[in-house]
Each structure stands twice: as C-alpha cells, then as structure tokens.
Amino acid sequence: MNEVKEPLITEYLIKKLCIVDNNYLWLQQLPLNENFAITSMFNENGEIIQWYIDITYENSVDNGEPYMMDLFLDIVVLPTGEIIEKDKDELEEALHNNWITKSQYDFAYRVFNQVLKQIHEGTFKYFDLSLKHRDYLLGKIRE
C-alpha cells in the first residue's frame, strides 16, 4: 500500500494495532492442500505486524484466480507470540442460519484446533514461509 487515505487501526486484547498505513504490505497465502489462508501484514519497515489466519473449507484456483471458501473462524498471531481466537460467534451464527452444515462446523473446529496446536508447538511453517515469500516477491518487483 503506497498511500492510504487514513490508517486502519484494530484492537486486540485492549491494545490498538495499526494494520494499514502508507508503505505497508500484505501477503496472502492460500495453500492448496490446507484448510486455512494466511494474511501476513508488514509495516513500512518490513516488520511483521500480525499473521491473520482464516480457517477455510477449501482453497483452490478457478480460471487462474485463487479463492478460498471461508469457514468464519480466525486466528490472529502477533509477533510477541500472543494468539487471539476470533469469530467463534460468527461460526455459531452461520450454523444457526444454515449457511454451513453441522459437518462444516465440526470441520472448522477440527482445523482450527490443529492450527492452534501447530502454532503452540512451533511447527506452523507458514510464518517462516511468509517472510521468504515476501522477500522473493519484493526481489522480483525490483528486478
């Protein structure tokens, strides 16, 4: 984001966090064989602000365009190691309104808990990959 009209501030754990501002960068990864998407957010100095993980039913590509089928549950991981579990209420609402099936609801929680376990164990490889992919893409842009 070269220039934004105004910064976007969000609040987690009673802390305010700027996630959009001039010269910020977002990188979104949709691994094809996984059921989550990761948006890595970097500030103007290239430092990670947060990783935002969407739990998905499917990640795929249609006519050359990547897409995901979101299952409402989200996880935010801050560079301090703090983990914020988000949108459980949205998943409940989706089930209540028949936007998703009970099977999809259960699947979302299964994936959610697997991702949380990997994060806690330090085996969630996508944090390191986000840094590598960002550096690779910035190198290609500068060529």
The answer on pLDDT for 142 being more than 70 is no
CA dist 112 and 105 (Å) reads 11
First-last CA distance in the chain: 19
pLDDT digits (tens, 9 = 90+) for 73-94: 999 999 999 999 999 999 999 9
Assigned fold of 8-134 = FomD barrel-like fold (2.40.380)
The structure's pTM equals 0.89
User: pLDDT tens-digit profile of 103-141?
Assistant: 999 999 999 999 999 999 999 999 988 888 787 777 766
